[in-house]
Structure 1
Amino acid sequence: MRLLILGGTEFVGRAVTEAALARGWEITVFHRGRHAPPPGVAELLGDRTEENGLAALAGVAEPGDGTYTWDLVVDTWSGAPSAVRDAARLLSGRAAHYAYVSSRSVYDYPAPAGLPEDGPLVEGASPDADGDVPYAQAKLGGELAVQDAFGDRALMARAGLIIGPWENVGRLPWWLTRIARGGPVLAPGTPDLDLQYIDVRDLAEWLLDASGKGLHGPYNLVSRSGHTTMGGLLNACVRTTGSDAELRWTDAERILAAGVEPWTDLPVWLPPGELYDTLHQGDVSRAYATGLHCRPVEETVADTWAWLCAIGGTAPQRADRPLKGVDPVTEAKLLAG
């Protein structure tokens, strides 16, 4: 199999690259050159945000004999949809399938618990949108762009919370480093709160399998709700790091009253309500029917910690995402009662 990854050196793209290498696939990455691709990967350099930024891709000739240069394109772009539009149009005659890593944010908010793929979508999305586009409209615009160019050869993976090795958003790495410091740790809400997420490597494996099956259209791509709980996640962090951390479960009302923001100050966690239902209660039966497998949370946590330790304990951080983690002073006040 011949794979083209638009990106391919960070988080989701890196996981797809590693999974494809393990399968012996022939891989090309198209990226800006800010990070070195893994050994054994061909690279094309360019910046999708610049004029003629796709020149390196355009220089790859179409076969012209009814075959394709690549069996699959994987695109993780989350900026202006026009970049997806231009790439998809360029590659429509060069690639058999196009998999776009979208988001469950494309659903109209609030998305009720159990919402499947045919639920109502956000308004105002366009494949031609350029400039600074809100995240939900950007992802849905990207979906529309891929559908326009590839039709029933387009696959939209509507991922939710993604964690695992190579994470550059700062959610699981923050919990691991905080718990590794030990002592009392502010644990939000109740430990039995169900979570819904996907290990980035399970996302990658599903994308590669889906191309071989010819899957197309949208799929909610996260675990079943309750694959683990908030307590399961944080206790796995305690065991993995071997720290003396003591989880202090604290009422959501007290946390919110102190001005602590769910999801950002305390990553992953959301108190029950509309946003919780939207992000942790989606219907994933369609993806599971195609063979989606989600590994145990203990494996995700242990492998992420091993990766963090191997790179010196400091995770990379995307410049376009806010830093995660509660202020230590605020945490200490809440722990003190």
Structure 2
Amino acid sequence: MGSGLGRIPGMDILVIGGGWFLGKAVVEEALARGWAVTTFNRGRSGVMVPGVRQVFGDRTSVEDLARLAAQGPWDAVIDTSAAEQPPKVVLAGAKALEGTTERYVYVSTVSVYAGWPDHPLKVGDPLMDGPADADRKYGRNPEGWRGPNLHYGRQKAGGERAVVETFGAERSWLVRPGVILGPREYVGRLPWWLRRAERGGQILAPGSASKSIQPVDVRDVARFAVDLAERPGGGVYNATAPIGRDTMGSFLGACLAMAGGRGELRWVPDEVLLEHGVRQWTEVPLWRTGEGVWQVNSEPAYAAGFTCRPLEETVRDTWEWLQAGNVPVPHPRAAALGIEADRERTILAAVGSLR
């Protein structure tokens, strides 16, 4: 399709999203390859990358989806904006685009696995329940729930089913990243740690310095999604850093080094954090005790060409991005991150009294 439309030689793709973080990284990667890129979003946040054809609209609107489909055809669609959308919205979009694009690349999450975060994971393991036509209410966490976000996993699993039911397994690429970090990160996990390192003093370091972690750079996920958009066929890949390559100690050490090295890491055992009721994943970003959180097998993706840059490079580039005065797109999830200074001091004092 793309080479016959009289535009830029090569692929012609549609990016749903494209204004910030992963979507913007996908757009930049595709443009760097000389591809023609159309973006579809509401145009309310982020900054559009020069050189793209912009179609503004709401993916929850049947009329807007029909207007979008009329702008095709495309060789592939890459969906980077489904994180906050229920499966039925993904299903409606997939149906609207099925006749005007060759294949669908859906960026999902490892949270779709029924075993996350308690068990090591690999492609083929059982998934969360989540019908393709589910609405936003489906699978909500119980009131007061402090465990893993089952609602998010169920919703994304339903989104995957919506894509595969519409395009078929032979035209659907599903990419399941874990934690995505890097410049423009809107959740704010890495920026929070960098700012905490910048403040210095005694820093609450969670669990063990030797704990393996597997965050992945946003640009690497984007590159892999663009790679798949070019390939006929379909499949499923986890997309995380190699198990055991990085540790919480090396990560926090890199944050300290970038921020000037004025802080002192004080490692607090998991059981102490649990005793103090510290909220996993948010109050101390990237900390979780489940055995499978950082035990995600992504070997098939590596065999398919997925690569992960050093975590230190991600930390450095994010620090430089922040130092240049940039700020991420505002997002409500960022408000839940980070432990308050007084609470941090209280826990560190309690640990000191135990020694």
When normalised by structure 1's length, the TM-score is 0.91
Say which of 221, 225, 228 aligns to 1:203.
221
SS for the counterpart of 1:270 is: coil
Deviations 1:44-66 (A, max 9, x none): 011122452324303325xxxxx
Return the match for 2:344 from 308, 331, 336. 331
Residue 266 (str. 1) matches residue 284 (str. 2):
yes
Alignment of 1:83-232 (within 5 A): 83-110=89-116, 113-123=119-129, 125-133=130-138, 134-151=151-168, 152-232=170-250
Q: Which amino acid aligns with 1:26?
A: A
Equivalent residue letter for 1:309: Q
- For residues 241 and 203 of structure 1, what CA distance do their matches in structure 2 show? 26
1:109-134 per-position Cα deviation (integer Å, ceiling 9, x unaligned): 356644321111112x1111123342
1:250-309 deviation digits (Å, cap 9, x = unpaired): 2222222122112111111223xxx241x2101211111111110001100001111122
Which residue of structure 2 lines up, in the alignment, with residue 56 of structure 1? 67
Provide Cα deviations, 1:49-103, integer angstroms capped at 9, x if missing partner: 2452324303325xxxxxxx21221112022111111111111121111100111
Q: 1:334 offset after TM fit, Å? A: 1.9
> For residue 71 of structure 1, what is the aligned residue in structure 2?
75
Q: Distance in 1 between matches of 2:79 and 2:303?
A: 23
- Partner of residue 245, structure 1: 263
Aligned to 1:29: 39
Q: What is the percent sequence identity of the aligned residues? A: 43
Please give the secondary structure, in 1, of the residue aligned with 2:99.
Answer: coil
Q: Does 1:41 align with 2:41?
A: no
Unaligned runs of 5+ in 1: 62-68
RMSD: 1.7
Check whether the contact 1:97–1:211 (CA below 8 A) recurs between aligned residues. yes
Tell me how many residue pairs correspond in the alignment: 324
Which stretches in structure 2 are left out of the alignment for 5+ residues? 1-10, 139-150
Note closer, same or farther for the CA distance 1:148–1:9 as it changes in structure 2 (3 Å cut). same
Q: Secondary structure at the match of 2:336?
A: coil
Is the Cα contact below 8 Å between 2:173 and 2:234 reproduced in 1? Answer: yes
Rounded Cα–Cα distance in structure 1 between residues aligned with 2:15 and 2:216: 20
- Structure 1 residue corresponding to 2:311, chosen from 297, 301, 316: 297
Quote the Cα distance in structure 2 between the aligned partners of 1:276 and 1:164.
25
Give me the whole-angstrom Cα distance separating, in 1, the residues matched to 2:321 and 2:103.
31
> Once the 2 structures are TM-superposed, how far is the Cα of residue 214 of structure 1 from its aligned partner?
2.8
Rounded Cα–Cα distance in structure 1 between residues aligned with 2:106 and 2:59:
15
Q: Secondary structure at the match of 1:108?
A: coil
What code does the residue aligned with 1:108 have?
A
Matches within 5 A, 1:9-28: 9-28=19-38
Say which SS state the counterpart of residue 138 (structure 1) adopts.
helix
What's the CA shift for 1:321?
A: 5.9
Instruction: Give 1:53's aligned amino acid.
Output: D
288, 304, 317: which one aligns with 2:302:
288
Q: CA deviation at 1:333?
A: 1.2
Separation of aligned partners in 2, 1:131 and 1:228 = 35
Q: TM-score, normalised by structure 2?
A: 0.86
Using the alignment, how far apart are the partners of 2:18 and 2:308 within structure 1?
22
Q: 2: CA distance between counterparts of 1:17 and 1:212?
A: 14
